[in-house]
Amino acid sequence: MAARAGGRQETKSWAMLAYIAGDNNLSDAGLEDVRELCEVGSSRDVWAAVEIDTYGEHTGSIRYEISEPDAWGEAHWIVIRRLAEKDSGDPETVRSVVTWGLKRYPARNRLLVVWNHGSGFRSVRRDIGYDDFGSSLDMPEVESALRRAGVGPRSRIDILGFDACLMSMLEVVHHFRELARIVVGSQQTEPGDGWPYDLVLAEAKRRPERRVLARRIVETYIASYRARGTFDVTQSAIDVAKTGAAVRRLHALGDALADDFEASGEVVEAVRTSVQVFEMADYVDLVQLAEEVAAAVAVPRVRKAAAALAGAARKCVLANGRLGRGVARANGLSVWFPADDDTYLRHRAKYLRLRCNAGANPGWVRFLDRFHG
């Protein structure tokens, strides 16, 4: 274990910290991901550490540090601390693990992976960090936990990774605009195996710049499933700093559609039925939606706003990977556009809590209100 005089940990190029909330039906997959990290091991330049809570393997959570490979080329997971049983869906649990990881493993660049089920922003049986014996986390709770762990505008996470389903949404990524520089996640559901952690850690050990590492995470993820057969998988890396412009363009389009709903509402409804959707069908591809609205609607204000949104959304996407016919039109970012009234009314209040909807009468919500009115 690298340390400076006086016991202080050495500052390395990268620190990779994974929070594996595996106290659920993904428990075995979480343990396999820790084993994948050990296939590569850490290095003089890279820290790798995990907190994992599993179902049935042991009681409580364990914090592991991944060692450097030994003389025989084998790395090991070293127990740093055993913890009492915790609810992995409790924001305090997230705060605790992030505080620990950032303090113990100083680095010039930081990759934080939140691992579990996911459902974008929505409140269904799970959001993120779901625990079969506890609760789950929504985006404001994850944000609060990170802030209380010391993450903020002056101490951003370089790459915030969601190894979880359906998290690459404009609304989700923008929610972390003050906390992360890049967000990596999937528009579609992820197979249970999730990220290829051996390949991701191997890329980090090359000491890349953060944009390069984010792109390589996307590329290695897609490549790992291409070798296995037929999957519909996506992964994308999003430049968080660019999402503000996209959110403004989204609300401008919403205002234009709401104001001219009689002229454009039916056309947009027809477009909605043809665009790329994902496992949760109220999540649609943002770029394709905007481009098709711009092409189909006759109202000049709407056409201009939609074209501007498409351009702004494309600028957010650093890397976009997709594999499979079912996601052939995925462009890296989704947006919430439910087709049925019940889904909209059930989740509207939670949607309004997202930072993209700060302020009075956000335009996209105005449009959705008209669409489902």
User: What is the CATH number for 50?
Assistant: 3.40.50.11970
131: pLDDT strictly greater than 90? no
27: pLDDT strictly greater than 90? no
Is residue 234 one of the residues assigned to a domain? yes
Instruction: Between 244 and 127, name the one with better pLDDT.
Output: 244
| Poorest-pLDDT segment among 21-25, 136-140, 351-355 | 21-25
- Mean pLDDT, rounded, for 260-272: 97
Last residue of a domain, one of 242, 262, 295: 242
Q: Are residues 37 and 166 in the same domain?
A: yes
Q: Are residues 119 and 54 in the same domain?
A: yes
Q: Are residues 60 and 185 in the same domain?
A: yes
With contact defined as beta carbons under 8 Å apart, do 179 and 151 qualify? yes
- Mean pLDDT, rounded, for 90-102: 93
Last residue of a domain, one of 242, 268, 286: 242
Q: Tell me which residue range forms the domain holding 115.
A: 11-242
Last residue of a domain, one of 242, 277, 292: 242
Q: Are residues 202 and 291 in the same domain?
A: no
The secondary element (H helix, E strand) that includes residue 102 is helix 91-104
Q: Are residues 46 and 174 in the same domain?
A: yes
Is residue 88 one of the residues assigned to a domain? yes
Residue 192 has a pLDDT of 84
Is residue 322 one of the residues assigned to a domain? no
153: pLDDT strictly greater than 50? yes
Residue 88 has a pLDDT of 67
Q: Express each pLDDT in 291-309 by its tens digit.
A: 999 999 999 999 999 999 9
Q: Which two tokens stand for residue 88?
A: 């992995």
Most confident of 54-58, 101-105, 125-129: 101-105
Q: Are residues 237 and 250 in the same domain?
A: no
The predicted model scores a pTM of 0.93
Q: Are residues 180 and 36 in the same domain?
A: yes
With contact defined as beta carbons under 8 Å apart, do 361 and 255 qualify? no
Q: Are residues 106 and 221 in the same domain?
A: yes
Q: Are residues 26 and 166 in the same domain?
A: yes
Q: Are residues 238 and 204 in the same domain?
A: yes
7: pLDDT strictly greater than 50? no
pLDDT confidence of 119, banded at 50, 70, 90? confident
Pairing of strands 107-115, 157-163: parallel
Q: What single DSSP character describes residue 152?
A: S
Is residue 332 one of the residues assigned to a domain? no
Is residue 219 one of the residues assigned to a domain? yes
Number of domains within the chain: 2
User: 219-223 contacts: CB < 8 A, separation 24 or more?
Assistant: 219/319, 219/321, 220/196, 221/195, 221/196, 221/321, 222/321, 222/322, 222/323, 223/199
With contact defined as beta carbons under 8 Å apart, do 11 and 107 qualify? yes
- Counting beta carbons within 10 angstroms of the beta carbon of residue 132, is it exposed (0 to 12), middle (13 to 18) or buried (19 or more)? middle
